[in-house]
Amino acid sequence: MPSVDKIEQERQLEYPMGERLPEAGEALPLDGAPGIRWVRMRLPFALDHINLWALRDVQAGREGWTLVDCGITNDATRACWEQVFEGGLDGLPVLRLLVTHMHPDHIGLAHWLTERWTTPEHECRMWISGTDFNAARMASQATTGFGGEAAARFMASHGLRDPDALEKIRLRSNYYASMVPKVPERHRRMLDGDRIRIGTNDAAGGGLWQAIAGYGHAPEHISLHQSALGVMISGDMVLPRISTNVSVIDLEPEADPLNLYLRSLERLRALPSDTLVLPSHGRPFRGLHTRIEQLLEHHQERLAEVMQACQLGPQTAAELLPVLFRRPLDLHQTCLLYTSPSPRD
């Protein structure tokens, strides 16, 4: 149950689609955003869904769709996509896949989807930042911070003492690969500031989308902004109701991802305040500047709580978890890719 503060924060945002959500296998047209359809897939975590986006497109005279993100690898997600292909895309093909970042719910099915829609005449290409492409390829072949002995040692060095939890982390040496068993061999690199034409200027929803790189949540996360429509596909950089996970992993033990994330949020203030934000989790909303302020305040409040706890004596990261989160976290929430909703949710 959300706290009173969280309910009040939500009231400060506008949700143009109200409570409406896409059904399984549906590609739901967005009000006020012609040429964009909303797909929603289930996830087997406490954070139980991901939003995916289909953008009406034309490439080399061929009509179809560009998809943004694709879900994890499992039979249920594949089956859901087949329903979308059958009835949600007007019988038109998928022309390419844009991936915001390398986390499994965003890139997991990229290999299957691009192979499924590649023909002798047209290769369905994955577009992604170069950093996240290489991070995903490495993670799908090794543990790289998501489990295994090195991750367990790193977490133990920061105060995680539960033998059962540490053993489970050691055994998760293929955790990422179980959701991302393969990454496409080739990609088109997206860079900060790139202007990507999706559709045509005359087509509904067509025009140029600007790539905006963000840091702290993933190595080189790419959000996409279309100024003519006033729309931003935010990925995980700005979410309407939960705070984005920001983690240090064993591969970069002296990293400062929170500072990178907060600086990335500040950059998004340059976009219009009435931008329609299409997040990876939660509902589409307006109120970008308001939400940025809420997130900045959230982190300032948590910093104050950490400093207060540290005044009582030295604290490990594990000892600070109950300070920051008012309820127990499962192992996935504690150690891996995503946190649950913010502490007072």
Whether residue 200 has pLDDT greater than 70 = no
Q: Is residue 344 part of a domain?
A: no
More confident residue, 95 or 199: 95
pLDDT of residue 201: 58
* Phi/psi of residue 90, nearest 5 degrees: 55, 30
Q: Is residue 345 part of a domain?
A: no
Q: Is residue 128 part of a domain?
A: yes
Whether residue 13 has pLDDT greater than 70 = yes
* DSSP secondary structure code for residue 283 in this structure: -
pLDDT of residue 339: 30
pLDDT of residue 249: 86
The mean-pLDDT minimum among 136-140, 266-270, 292-296 falls in 136-140
- Position 44: which residue type? P
pTM beyond 0.85, yes or no: yes
- 230: tokens are 């006033």
Please state, rounded to an integer, the average pLDDT across all residues of the chain: 90
297: how many CB neighbours lie within 10 A of its CB?
A: 11
The mean-pLDDT minimum among 45-54, 198-207, 250-259 falls in 198-207
CA gap 30, 100 in Å, rounded: 20
Contact 84, 39 (CB under 8 A): yes
Whether residue 205 has pLDDT greater than 60 = no
Q: Is residue 44 part of a domain?
A: yes
Average of per-residue pLDDT across 114-121: 97
Average of per-residue pLDDT across 250-256: 91
Orientation of helix 288-311 relative to helix 317-324, angle to 10°? 120
All residues at 6 or more sequence positions from 260 whose CB lies less than 8 Å from its CB, including other chains: 215, 216
pLDDT class of 204 with cuts at 50, 70, 90: very low
pLDDT single digits (tens) 99-117: 999 999 999 999 999 999 9
Tally of domains within the chain: 1
Q: Is residue 341 part of a domain?
A: no
Which one of 98-102, 135-139, 316-320, 334-338 scores highest in mean pLDDT? 98-102
CATH code of the domain containing 210: 3.60.15.10
pLDDT of residue 121: 94
Pairing of strands 231-235, 221-226: antiparallel
pLDDT of residue 15: 97
Q: Is residue 343 part of a domain?
A: no
All residues at 6 or more sequence positions from 91 whose CB lies less than 8 Å from its CB, including other chains: none
* DSSP secondary structure code for residue 14 in this structure: B
pLDDT single digits (tens) 58-102: 999 999 999 999 999 999 999 999 999 999 999 999 999 999 999
Which residues form the domain of 76?
4-335
Q: Is residue 148 part of a domain?
A: yes
pLDDT of residue 335: 64
Q: Is residue 342 part of a domain?
A: no
pLDDT single digits (tens) 175-191: 889 999 999 999 999 99
Angle in degrees, CA 125, 131, 135, rounded to 5:
90
- 41: tokens are 């897939």
